Chain A
Amino acid sequence: MTALAKLLRTTAFKIVAVYLLVFALFAAGIILYLGRHTQQLVLSQITETIDAEIRSLDEQYRIGGIRRLVETVERRAAQPGSNLYLVTTYSGDTIAGNLTETPNSVLERQGWSEISYRRSEEGSGTAARPSRAVVRVFFLSGGFRLLVGRDFEERDRLRQILARPAMFAFVLIVVMGVAGGIFVARRVLKRIDAMTATGERIMLGDLSGRLMVTGSGDEFDRLANSLNAMLERIEALMTGLKQVSDNIAHDLKTPLTRLRNRAEEALRGAKTEAGYRAALESTIEESAGLIRTFDALLMIARAEAGEARKGMTEFDAADVAESVAELYEPLAEQKGLHLEVDTKGPLPIHGNRELVGQALANLVDNAIKHGRPETPGSNGEIRISTGQEAGHVLLSVADHGPGIPVEDRGRVVERFVRLETSRSRPGAGLGLSLASAVAHLHGGELRLEDNTPGLQVKLVLPTTPHERT
């Protein structure tokens, strides 16, 4: 691409060109308008003067006849820079005046016309250069004809006077237009270029880069702010992803290693069919656990990416709470826990019933795992309740288990995080992560609170469809 073609392609050039064109057209318009107006003004002044002259000469003629008229005309014509005068007989012979070579056709009818003429100069007798004038022919009562005219010289001079500054102004406007265009274009494009540069840097992998915000609150600031917010989210997601892959590496490798060890051990040690069978069965069991963990991870990832938003419908949250409670009630009873259900429906919300159900199931599952059976210190109750709060539906699961210390509450929703107290129990540490991801998918949140003693987990979901900002 040649340098010129490159220049023509830049937005700066386009902006300047358009800016200049508009500016120049505007300036030319104003100048033309002003010039035309001035000319018309001058012309109307000329005609007024001529009209007044004719009236006064006509008056002289009425008062003193042709002689007085001739005298007056001679006198006025002798003055320098005067009007044009001509008095003729009916047949067109000149009686008085300072005009020579008048075409007869002009004198034959009354009214206005534009002529070119030569003024007869005093003394020299020679005719001067031809020039143009506007004249009015008037028939006097005695058959004489009177012509009064005025040179366009005045108008032309005025035009000259106007033309020079107009040209100057035009040039000035064009120069200013170009300068203004370049200024605006550079100012705008500099920021766009800066944004492009930042974008490229980010694409190269530096996710911490942010666009400059000047603080003026203009469109660029708003654009930069929203792009920065987007980058913020991308960075958070990337960090999450990295952390997850670290965790996956750690937490999936352990069962994978176990799996392999068992298989190897069976190959090495088992001598009987029963031995092989047992080893294979435990291998299958282990891989089922791995698949479950993997499925949960995928589900969390998809909930976090917002993919499940397509499958959202209206459903009754109270109904979900009841069905989940009903599902887990026998299990709780088996573990010596009371599952109390306190729902006040219907609580219509917009969301993914399946995911909300699973999130709640995870919470109840956790509560059953960690809840303490009926002992002197605890009544072994797990309480599932629903509530409402300013456009949100609350699904709450409370237990009287060991609870979660305040300092750990932010951490437990992360993937694979299990507190030491629960390491010995089954579970991959994904239950709360999934519940939290589901809450965020719906534009809500997961709250962990103290149940003194125990833990109360609240799934807070908005009742209306949520647009992620």
Chain B
Amino acid sequence: MRLLVVEDDREAAGYLRKAFREAGHVCELAADGEEGLALALDGEFDVFVIDRMLPKRDGLSLISEIRKRGVTTPVLILSALGQVDDRVTGLRAGGDDYLAKPYAFSELLARIEALARRVAPQAADTVYRVADLELDRLAHSVLRAGKEIVLQPREFRLLEYLMRHAGQVVTRTMLLENVWDYHFDPQTNVIDVHVSRLRSKIDKGYDKPLLHTVRGTGYMIRDGAR
């Protein structure tokens, strides 16, 4: 993936570039809003990571300008402001996701990978398949090895989100945001309990587990064979 990181804090930007490279991505840096705009209009990127407070041109105005020029590349907003209203204004300006500082790098990486996947065409598929697990979004049915699995509505949405991002790490906050539409950080392991319930329904009794825990980050559905 090619990433553009617009961040004025040199140390943070340098750290991000190093970490993204280690994760196998190409990362370009811009230190202010104008430079970010020039690079964003010019280069081919899969995701923009834009800090909200930037010199010369602030993050929100940068995003609006990018969108006005017809660039549809997904944007993840990074901000020291983390409250509900800030996120809403950020998304309204044309951002696709919002992450408050300080964040865990694994969280940022998971979200960027999810954003890059969002534009992929298979997002519109009606049936998701991972190994012998099959989820039909229209019929609202789940099959494992051809056998129907009965899920609660919320469990279905949880599985649907995990399967849409099959092969990618999905963090707990991503699940809370996308499945429950809450953006706060639950103090206890509520999400873990939901996931382990789901796991007991789809993985229990089968040789090959599909729903994996990614230590310190979140979860991933993938075909273990790959």
A residues apposed to B, CB below 8 Å: 281, 284, 288, 291-292, 295, 298-299, 302, 307-308, 310-311, 323, 326-328, 330-331, 333-334, 352, 354-355, 357-358, 361-362, 365, 368-369, 426-427, 431
Contacts and interface: CB of A to CB of B under 8 A. Distances in A.
A365 B100 CA distance: 23
B104 A354 contact: no
Given A295-B185, A362-B187, A431-B187, A330 B88 contact: no
Interface stretch (B53-61, B121-129, B140-148, B189-197): B189-197
Which 3 pairs across A and B sit closest by C-beta, in order of nearness? A330-B193, A358-B184, A311-B85
Contact of B197 (A330, A358, A365): A330
Which of A295, A326, A327 has the largest number of chain B CB atoms within 10 A? A327
Contact of A307 (B85, B188, B216): B85
A381 B181 CA distance: 27
A110 to B, nearest CB: 95
Classify the interface of chain B: helix, strand, loop or mixed: loop
Contacts of B197: 330
Given A291-B102, A310-B85, A361 B193 contact: no
Contact of B85 (A308, A331, A357): A308
Interface in B117-172: 154
Nearest to B85: A311
B187 A357 contact: no
Given A295-B82, A311-B84, A331 B182 contact: no
A311 B88 contact: yes
A331 B197 CA distance: 10
Interface of B: 82-85, 88, 100, 102, 104, 154, 180-190, 193-194, 197, 216
A302 B83 contact: yes
Contacts of B83: 298-299, 302, 307-308
Contacts of B88: 311
B187 A331 contact: no
Contacts of A431: 187
22 contacts: A284-B104, A284-B216, A292-B185, A298-B82, A302-B83, A308-B83, A308-B84, A308-B85, A323-B182, A327-B182, A330-B190, A330-B194, A333-B193, A334-B193, A354-B183, A354-B184, A357-B182, A358-B182, A365-B188, A368-B188, A426-B188, A431-B187
